[in-house]
Every structure is written in C-alpha cells, then in structure tokens.
Amino acid sequence: MKRFFAAILLIAMVASVTFTVDAKRRTNRKKAQTESTAGLTALERKVVGKHMLSLQWISWESFGTVEIKKEADGTFSCRGEQMARKCKGGTEQGNIDNDDYVKLDGTITIVDDTHLVFNGEIRTKVYHINHGEEVLRQGTFNFVATQNRKFWRMQEMKNPVDECIDYVDIYFKR
C-alpha cells in the first residue's frame, strides 16, 4: 500500500513539474513575441512575423513559411521557402518524386495593409516547368490582397520562362 501511495505521489510530482515547465515555455514564447513587435505600428505588426507561403504547383495543403523582420536600419527583410513534401510514392501532387520549391529572399516595403512591394529574388523549381530547372526572378514584385482574401498574391504571375501562371502567396498571420 505504501508503494502505491509513493507511486501516486511521484506521478503527481512529475505532472506538476511538467505543467510548470510548459507554462514557463508558453510565457517565454509570448514574451519573445511581444518584444519582437515592440515599437511597431499596427500595420507593421500585421506584416512582421512568420507567415505561411505557397506556390500552387507545390501544394495548398502543406505550406512553407516566410519570415518578415524589421531590421535595425528600418528596412523589412523577407526570407522563406516552401518545399515539396515527400510522401510515400513521391510527393503530394500526383505522387511524382521531385524536389520542387519556391524561395524568397529580399526586402519588403509596406504600401498599405493590402499591398506589399517585394524587392529581391524569387526562385522556383517545378518538375514540369522549364524542364525541371530553376527559374530565377529578380527585381520588384507586388503582392496584393484583393477581394477580401486572407493573403497577398504576387501580381507578376506570368512565369518568365514557360507560358504558365505562378500563384505565389504570402498568407496573413493567424
């Protein structure tokens, strides 16, 4: 009987420590998020942070991420990627084994809550476009949220190499 109560006491102690550690992690995470948005305008808070990223050829079910940060000099950096998710028999789209991706690396200028201007590089690699070779776009690109959508879509959609349309989307934070 003593062993039973000792075991119950031990389980309760472990559960208590686990709960305390989890609560501390949540508090630290919240504190870090608050510190990272301190001194930002409401509009900047909407834009700064981690966002989901997608290219329709890869997936609208398994998203990548893009992070927008306000740098010390006041500019907003933007870096992220979405990679084809491997699954049994290949990837999500048609079980074709590939290494498709979209990668963004540049800066963002906030025009308003529906319009971001990206300046930098956008790299895409899709198995059925450009013979599976990477397509590099460099320059200025407009990302606009239209028709009450919850994402900004790149407006320069025409792929510069093949006759196709690429939907590159950066989603609002949840």
Q: Residue holding tokens 């407009």?
A: 142
DSSP state of 39: T
Per-residue pLDDT of the chain (174 residues; tens, 9 = 90+): 667 666 565 565 555 555 555 556 655 555 444 446 788 999 999 999 999 999 999 988 899 999 999 999 999 999 999 999 765 554 455 545 679 999 999 999 999 999 999 999 999 999 999 999 999 999 999 999 999 999 999 999 999 998 899 999 999 998
- Residues with Cβ within 8 Å of 4's Cβ and at least 6 positions away in sequence, in order, are none
- Residues with Cβ within 8 Å of 110's Cβ and at least 6 positions away in sequence, in order, are 43, 44, 47, 76, 116
